[in-house]
Chains A and B, each alone.
Chain A
Amino acid sequence: MTTAILRSISPELDPRRLRREFPIFANNPDLVFLDSAASAQKPRAVIDGLAEYYRTDYANVHRGVYRLSARSTELYEEARDRVRRFLNAADSREIVFVRNTTEAINLVAQSWGPAFLREGDEVLISELEHHSNIVPWQLLRDRIGIRLVVAPIDVTGGLDLAGFEARLSPRTRLVATTHIANATGSLVPVERVVELAHRRGARVLIDGSQAAPRLPIDVQALGCDFYAFTGHKVYGPTGIGVLYGRFDLLSAMPPYQGGGEMILHVSFEKTEYQEPPHRFEAGTPNIAGAIGLGIALDFIEELGRENILDHEEVLTGCGVDRLSQIPGLRLLGAGQRRLGILSFDLDGVHPHDVAQVLDQQHVAVRAGHHCAQPLMERLGLSGTTRASLGVYNDETDIERLATAIEAARELFAR
């Protein structure tokens, strides 16, 4: 524990100092914010950067010949290249701006799906998935008759790799998996998943919503075909997300939505579409959101992604140690490599009641099914209480959390 404390207050990443970069904490002095997995708080650089962009550089993109529009377009495309570097993608044309991870997955399901899948083809997901990586495939199933196959979790609550491998079939055309499970924090061995899937000729889509804020990501090293994440969980604005897709795949995919921005030439008889990524960005995009996301990624890079990973690992460990001391508390995903998320069941106390008592102590956590109802059902729970970490959290937050949980336990003890 002592080493842990020493490491996480190392000068590279000092949460106490960092909190000053997040105005929310100055405006809510007593707040212990442990819900970054739902949405992270915003650093001043992002908040001010958005305002600054609207004040000085705002105009629509890819349209005007005037210099302000050119400047705005430049900033927007710079943000795209910023995302490319964040994922280490080979080409910025592989970066599609969308609203969020949900839209990224829907884009693949609705564009790539009908173009490349036939009735009876299989999409393999896992029991760990968020609804956003379940429902788009069900819609596709109902539309074109694919089969949705679900890989099981093991007793520790992580992906059962053997079970996963057993469900790969000659008809598996796509594996769609989370990188870090939002409801349990379990880290999925995506390198292995990609290797196994590719060996069978299946494509791989990774939902990186929870991984992007915590792990260095290299899509080329991973070899995945699609990678999705959302801006608001990486300390960026809401309403902006990213779909990475290999260029050859994106090039072969039909448009997802029609409108302006995504066309080369329109007549009433025939329309020619833009190349990726603009083919998939119909209408005026979330320009400020993309620029804000770029600033957020700069913020992350300045902190250092290895430092963030280190910080989250150490603090997750502290959290596991401390919460394990609370009688009647069962952590989900025990035995798994877990990152940034502590999801638990407190014996005899409903998660909403736990969260209510925690809120009284100004400890903000999420209670419920975390948009992963099938997983909750599989675990025999209606929901859990989930504390999730960000760069601004430290050991004192873990202690405040634990103390508040103990108070909840006392209040509701039978």
Chain B
Amino acid sequence: MMDLRELYQEIILDHGRHPRNFRKIEHPTHFAQGHNPLCGDRVTVYLALDDERITDVSFQGRGCAISTAAASLMTEVLKGKTVADARALFAQFHARVTGGQPAEELSVPLAEDMDRLEPLTGVKAYPARVKCATLSWHALEAALKGRDGSTVKTE
């Protein structure tokens, strides 16, 4: 078993305690709720899109250190990105946390964003916690699909 400090790296503890963009967007163009039935945690992701660009992204909810930090870091890397960028990042992130092979190479700026998310990939050693890291991303995906106010489950 790996050291717990690899799972709970300082950046995760920090974002878990002090999540960034932890607020509601007053008039979101898109939003969706993520629900992890295993632990009962819920997260709502809010998006403000200007055409294809994410001008603002935020979240609210209650979760463990991993899911809170994952949501917080997600909002940080997504601000200013296009919807296509967001989807490419999620595909890459999902592959990394599940220990699978990334679908395709990311462009250099996106690869740098992926590096910021790298501390979360420690969950791949803990299968029960992978859903904590991906919950907010699944909610983001549901929001982007235009299912406003919908609830997506991690299962």
Contact = CB atoms under 8 A, between A and B. Distances in A.
Interface of A: 349-353, 356-357, 360, 367-369, 373, 376, 382-383, 411-412, 414
B40 to A, nearest CB: 4
A357 B4 contact: yes
25 contacts: A349-B65, A350-B41, A350-B65, A351-B39, A352-B64, A352-B132, A353-B16, A353-B64, A353-B65, A353-B66, A356-B7, A356-B8, A357-B4, A369-B39, A373-B40, A376-B40, A382-B40, A382-B41, A382-B42, A383-B40, A411-B13, A412-B13, A412-B16, A412-B17, A412-B65
Contact of A368 (B38, B42, B66): B38
Contact of A411 (B1, B8, B64, B66): B8
Contacts of B65: 349-350, 353, 412
A350 B64 contact: yes
Instruction: Determine which residue in B8, B64, B66 has the highest number of CB atoms from chain A within 10 A of its CB, and name it.
Output: B64
Contacts of B63: 350
B50 to A, nearest CB: 34
Nearest to A376: B40
A414 B39 contact: no
A368 B41 CA distance: 9
Contacts of A349: 65
Determine the interface band of chain B, counting residues with CB < 8 A from chain A. 20 to 34
Nearest to B38: A368
Given A373-B40, A376-B40, A411 B132 contact: no
Nearest to B65: A353
A360 B41 contact: no
Given A360-B1, A382-B62, A368 B40 contact: yes
A353 B41 CA distance: 13
Interface string B70-106: 0000000000000000000000000000000000000
Nearest to B8: A411
A221 B24 CA distance: 57
A351 B128 CA distance: 13
Interface string B109-144: 000000000000000001001001000000000000
Most buried by B among A349, A350, A383: A350
Contacts of B40: 368-369, 373, 376, 382-383
B126 A414 contact: no
Interface of B: 1, 4, 7-8, 13, 16-17, 38-42, 62-66, 126, 129, 132
Given A350-B64, A353-B65, A411 B39 contact: no
Given A382-B62, A412-B13, A352 B39 contact: yes
Contact of B129 (A352, A357, A383): A352
Contacts of A352: 39, 64, 66, 129, 132
A412 B8 CA distance: 9
A385 to B, nearest CB: 11
Nearest to A350: B64
B4 A367 contact: no
A225 to B, nearest CB: 33
Contacts of B13: 411-412
B39 A383 contact: yes
Nearest to B132: A352
Contacts of A350: 41, 63-65
B109 to A, nearest CB: 32
Nearest to A414: B17
A373 B42 CA distance: 13
Contact of B4 (A351, A360, A368, A414): A360
Nearest to A367: B39
A309 B138 CA distance: 47
B36 to A, nearest CB: 9
Nearest to A360: B4
A367 B38 CA distance: 9
Contacts of A360: 1, 4
Given A356-B4, A357-B4, A373-B40, 9 more contacts: A352-B64, A352-B132, A353-B16, A356-B8, A368-B39, A376-B40, A382-B62, A411-B4, A412-B17
A364 to B, nearest CB: 12
A382 B4 contact: no
Q: Which of B1, B39, B63 has the most CB of A within 10 A?
A: B39
Nearest to B64: A350
Contacts of A383: 39-40
A115 B126 CA distance: 48
A382 B17 contact: no
Nearest to B126: A356
Contacts of B126: 356
A368 B63 CA distance: 11
